[in-house]
Amino acid sequence: MRFSLRFIFTVFSLFFCFVVLVGRVLLLCHFDRDYYKNFVNSARATKQTQRAIRGQIRDRNGFVLAITTMKIDIGVDPYTTDLQKNRDKIDQLAVLLGKTSEEIMEYFRRETFIRQGKKQQLRWKKIATIEDNDLYARIMALDIKGVYGSRKNERIYPNNELASHVIGFVNKEGIAVSGVERFMDEFLRGQDGCLESERDGKRKEVALFRKTVIGTKNGAYVDLTIDLRVQTTVENALARTMAELKAKSGSVIVSDPTTGEILALCNAPTFDCNAYYRSEISHLRNRAITDFYEPGSVFKIVPFSIALQRGLFSLEQRFDCNQATFSYHGKTYNLPKDYTQFGQLSAVDVLRKSSNRGAAQIAILLGERGLYHAARAFGFGSRTGYGFDGEVAGILPPVERWDSLTITRLPMGHAIGATPLQVHQAMGVIGSGGYLLEPKVIGRICDENGETIIRAEPHIIRRVLNLDVAKKMREILSHPGNATSSIEGVKLAYKTGTSQKIIGKKYSSEHHISSCSGFFPAEEPRFLVTVVLDDPKMANGGVAYGIRAAYPLLAEIARTIIISKGLGH
Three-state DSSP state, 343: coil
| pLDDT single digits (tens) 346-385 | 999 999 999 999 999 999 999 999 999 999 999 999 999 9
169 by Cβ neighbours in 10 Å (0-12 / 13-18 / 19+) ranks as buried
274-287 pLDDT, tens per residue?
A: 999 999 999 999 99
Structural domain total, the chain: 1
Bridge partners for 293 per DSSP: 418
- Helices (H) and strands (E) in the chain — how many of each? 17, 25
Question: In this structure, is residue 349 part of a structural domain?
Answer: yes
CA distance 6 to 3: 8
Q: How buried is 393 (Cβ within 10 angstroms: 0-12 exposed, 13-18 middle, 19+ buried)?
A: middle
The pTM of this model reads 0.85
Report how far residue 90's alpha carbon sits from residue 308's, in angstroms, rounded to the nearest whole number.
83
Q: Is residue 273 part of a domain?
A: yes
CA angle 33, 37, 43 (to 5 degrees): 150
Element (H, E) at 123: none
131 falls within a domain: no
Instruction: Check residue 132 and give its pLDDT.
Output: 84
Domain that holds residue 387: 228-440+456-564
CATH number of the domain that residue 372 is part of: 3.40.710.10
Q: Is the bond preceding residue 536 a cis peptide, omega within 30 degrees?
A: no
Residues with pLDDT less than 70, the chain:
1-3, 24, 26-49, 195-214, 480-484
Residue 77 lies in a domain: no
Q: Assess if residue 45 is contained within a domain.
A: no
CA–CA gap between residue 432 and residue 561 (Å, rounded): 19
> What radius of gyration, in Å, describes the C-alpha atoms of the chain?
35
Q: Is residue 177 part of a domain?
A: no
Asked whether residue 86 is assigned to any structural domain, the reply reads: no
Domain contains 259: yes
